[in-house]
Structure 1
Amino acid sequence: MTAIARPRSPAVRALTSLSALVLFALIAGLVVGGLAGGAVGEAGAGAPPDGLLFSILSVLESLGQTWLNALRITVMPLIFALLIVGVAAIADAAATGRLAARALMVFGVLIVGATVYAIVAGLGLLNLWPIDPEAGRALAGSVSGEVAAEVGQAARTDGFTAFLRSLLPSNVVKAAAEDGVLAVVVFALAFGFATTRLTAEARRPLVEVFRAVSEAMIVLVRWILMAAPFGVFALALGVGLHGGFKAAGALGHYVAIVCLSQIGLILVTLLIAVVWGRIGLGRFLSATGPALAVAVSTQSSIASLPVMIERARDNLGVPAERAGLVLPLAVAVFRMTSPVANLAVCLYVAQLHGVELGLPVLIAGGLTAIAVSIASVGLPGQVSFFASVGPICLAMGVPVGVLPLLLAVEVIPDIFRTLGNVTADMTAVRIVDVAEGDTPQRDADPGPA
């Protein structure tokens, strides 16, 4: 009997992916750095600090920092171009009719609510379960020297009035050069909305220029990320060299905090589906389950879209024409977990480096998180992590040097990102359907789940 060949599982395919290579590089860098640090320490009593081993490690650390700088240089032009294209896409969607406009309103309410939740949940989790000081020092040790240089001008405020002044600087180019991300975001949003007032003939080529810029920058980021295994290895080597193996504990704690934040959001989203979507929890979970299974296996909202449309139509009772408009629109412009996961990362890094976060800084982070949630929709996972988290960190005055190490362990949090997005998309289509006015009658007889 001939055995039937089965496709490789997602876990097996992941072993050959860049994410797996980066994770391996992180582990290898921490191990090699820890062992090298021990060797240098044992020989340190009588050995000069400029020995051959120390020199090699210093060169590798410098190369890792150079790779990080290459990533950072792409943030401003990428986020500016993506925001203009994103605003144009939302404006075009809103112009298609009442249903699309209503869906965008629901998306807006959910994303703002998710941002408020993200700040409260992130700060709450870190207060209840703070970073172990010793492990935190080990993880931050190799980048802590750059904290002062990396504080974003947009977040360096003495009060709310100074924060307001930072929103509209006299020179946006100077603000971008000084990592004033929030000012760049505000200008990009204003510019994007201004383009919507142009005629279609004038707007179309302008938007296409920025679309081309964003796509070119994404290609550039992909090229830089091809060197991610080496860059992460070099950065992790420095962490292991200065902090030993304790940094691994901080990384595990980071994964747990980000995942818990997103699990909380999923639970809140389910509550919203029940209350605002007027549906029983069991029925909603039964309808959404297959789409969530696809989300886990693919880590892609786009790949889950066909199943979401089918389940919304057949199991949530959403008419095919509504599901066929709202769900693709949600996948295109709505990513509810983006501010939650991204702010969780930024709040973690802030505590890691001891950065004080006042109300103006948290507002700056929240506004930037909402903006980049629009800009980063549809980006590849590795690209979107730095393109989304980096601007928020800079807007809050939080160092970004540790982000490549966190990128290496993003595989697990990314699963919950997709789960949360699919749950939110199904919730949104249900809410929009209820808002259209005829869903309660269909729900009188729940029918088979």
Structure 2
Amino acid sequence: AVMIGISLARFIRPGRGLEHVYPSPPSLKPENLQLAEPPPSPLEGITKELPDMITGLIPQNIAASLLEQDMLAIVMFSLFVGIATVTADKKELTRPLVALAEAMLEVSMTVIRTAMRFAPLAVFGLMAETTATNGFSTLVDLATYCGIVLSGLTCLLLLYLVIVTVFGRMNPVKFIEAVVPVQLLAFSTSSSAAVMPLTMKTAIDKLKTPPSLAGAVVPLASTVNMAGTALYQSVAIMFLADISGTPLSPGDLALVMVTLTGASIGAPAAPGASIAILATTATSFGVPLTGLPLVMGVDRILDMARTLVNVTGDLVLCRIVTPKGKRANETLEPEESPVATEQASAESPA
């Protein structure tokens, strides 16, 4: 998903038209640099940066990583702590740490929800000022950015249909018919957690996933399987980088992929939560947040679309892990189930 998003954003470059609106600092301008060396080839750049990329995955000082806003190091440290907490022998000793983390998450989400209530007014003012100063070309570039995100999500959705056809052995049209109610609810609520009960019911009733398996897969996938969010954030970071004129080397793009993949795993399943992750990730790569109000102005629409894709991915996973014996008993119409067929045979004359 991240590769799809970055590829589309690198090919179209939606923020180039807004570079004059939010100019980068003079020190970052290439014409102000003396004795500039020619840029290395992509393969040479990745080869030189690969050792530092690998060693930089594990933070030597987590306090320094927090101060420097090194998002990749923070994500890796959080993963290590989470794995150690879950696999600890004396889990009764780790419960206070888990409770503290949950309390901090709830406080953070409360702050974000409160800020998002006032965000539309602030975004309206900033959008009005930008449009009045630079004309409607700003809206054209913003529409291009939205088109890239929606195109990437469409590609990801088509990829899911291919996966469910090949590995799930299910007609994609029948799959869409089965999951449309979940998709519509996800599109309207913008929350994977809010549609979780309907997702489980659809997986059990229409995709023939055993209840015990659906009860394990759906809650986990609603937290971990955030491919649509990762795709959106990759395009948004490229959009912000183009607006500010910040160059991102191939090595930086590789680190962006790894960071967004890890950050999307822990993204809260709530509307507007991805903005905080996007801002932190962009800052860690030296991308200014001057264009963030533009991204926030259309975030709600894109949030609805990516939540739909996230939930579809959860149901595709349920279909894939369903045992083949359960798939064999699947019928296209409820009235043609094996139980109904046996009852009809018993009631019919010999």
Bin of the TM-score, shorter chain as denominator length: 0.7 to 0.9
Partner Cα distance (1:274, 1:430) in 2:
10
The answer to whether residue 297 in structure 2 is matched with residue 408 in structure 1 is yes
The answer to whether residue 18 in structure 2 is matched with residue 136 in structure 1 is yes
**Offset at residue 340 of structure 1 (A):** 1.3
Contact 1:138 1:244 in 2 (8 A): no
Counterpart code for 1:441: A
**1:195 aligned residue:** 85
Counterpart code for 1:159: E
Query: Helix, strand or coil for the counterpart of 1:213?
Result: helix
Counterpart code for 1:194: A
Counterpart code for 1:219: T
Partner Cα distance (2:219, 2:60) in 1:
39
Q: TM-score, with normalisation over the residues of structure 2? A: 0.79
Contact 2:243 2:291 in 1 (8 A): no
Partner Cα distance (1:328, 1:132) in 2:
36
Query: Helix, strand or coil for the counterpart of 1:302?
Result: coil
Aligned partner (choices 56, 62, 65) of residue 172 of structure 1: 62
Counterpart code for 1:188: S
Structure 2: tracts of 5 or more residues without a match = 29-44, 337-350
Partner Cα distance (1:375, 1:438) in 2:
34
**1:424 aligned residue:** 313
Alignment of 1:153-302 (within 5 A): 159-198=49-88, 199-233=90-124, 235-236=126-127, 239-240=130-131, 243-302=134-193
The list of structure 1 runs, each at least 4 consecutive aligned residues, that deviate by more than 4 angstroms after superposition, is: 445-449
The 3 A distance-change label for structure 1 pair 136 and 428 is same
The 3 A distance-change label for structure 1 pair 172 and 306 is closer
CA RMSD of aligned residues (A): 2.9
Counterpart code for 1:424: G
Alignment of 1:361-380 (within 5 A): 361-378=252-269, 380=270
The 3 A distance-change label for structure 1 pair 170 and 273 is same
Alignment of 1:86-105 (within 5 A): none
Q: State the percentage of identical aligned residues.
A: 29
Counterpart code for 2:328: Q
**Offset at residue 242 of structure 1 (A):** 5.4
**Offset at residue 306 of structure 1 (A):** 3.3
**1:106 aligned residue:** none
Partner Cα distance (2:15, 2:196) in 1:
41
Contact 2:223 2:268 in 1 (8 A): yes
The answer to whether residue 274 in structure 2 is matched with residue 391 in structure 1 is no
Q: TM-score, with normalisation over the residues of structure 1? A: 0.63
Partner Cα distance (1:233, 1:289) in 2:
33
The answer to whether residue 245 in structure 2 is matched with residue 354 in structure 1 is yes
Partner Cα distance (2:277, 2:81) in 1:
20
The answer to whether residue 201 in structure 2 is matched with residue 310 in structure 1 is yes
Contact 1:331 1:425 in 2 (8 A): yes
Contact 1:364 1:395 in 2 (8 A): no
The number of equivalent residue pairs is 317
The 3 A distance-change label for structure 1 pair 219 and 306 is closer
